[in-house]
């Protein structure tokens, strides 16, 4: 008689897996860590969303003319500031990747550059 015949005719019994005490502890720890990660992410993203939104920033708009460079605009707009700093702030305010501007572009000049 073949042993495989005996196994194939055996009844199938379904049982639930049981976790040991250590398995339950590992599962609980994993859930706590997941919950902590979600809370930290929520706090982090919530803080970034509201950072700096407390006060409106005063700005002036300047239209780029043919032949203008960002350096020229920074020198004229912020004569009492270091031109490199003014260029950096204008780029930041306008989300510019580099110092390239085109005629007709509207640039935002932060008011604190004009005041000093």
Residue 9 has pLDDT above 80, yes or no: no
CB 113 within 8 A of CB 78: yes
The DSSP bridge partners found for residue 62 are: 107
DSSP 15: -
The DSSP bridge partners found for residue 108 are: 61
pTM equals: 0.50
Instruction: Give 46-60 pLDDT, tens digit per residue.
Output: 554 444 555 666 678
For residues 60 and 78, give the distance between their C-alpha atoms in angstroms, rounded to a whole number: 12
The DSSP bridge partners found for residue 59 are: 110
Instruction: Give 66-105 pLDDT, tens digit per residue.
Output: 999 999 999 998 888 999 999 999 999 899 998 889 999 9
For residues 76 and 67, give the distance between their C-alpha atoms in angstroms, rounded to a whole number: 14
């Amino acid at each position: 008689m073949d042993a495989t015949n005996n196994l194939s005719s055996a009844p199938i019994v379904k049982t639930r897996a049981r976790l040991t005490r250590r398995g339950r502890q590992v599962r609980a720890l994993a859930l706590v860590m997941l919950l902590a990660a979600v809370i930290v992410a929520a706090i982090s993203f919530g803080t970034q969303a509201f950072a700096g939104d407390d006060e409106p920033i005063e700005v002036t708009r300047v239209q780029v003319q043919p032949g203008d460079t960002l350096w020229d605009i920074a020198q004229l707009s912020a004569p009492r500031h270091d031109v490199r700093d003014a260029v950096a702030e204008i780029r930041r305010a306008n989300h510019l990747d580099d110092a390239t501007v085109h005629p007709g572009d509207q640039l935002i000049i932060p008011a604190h550059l004009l005041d000093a």
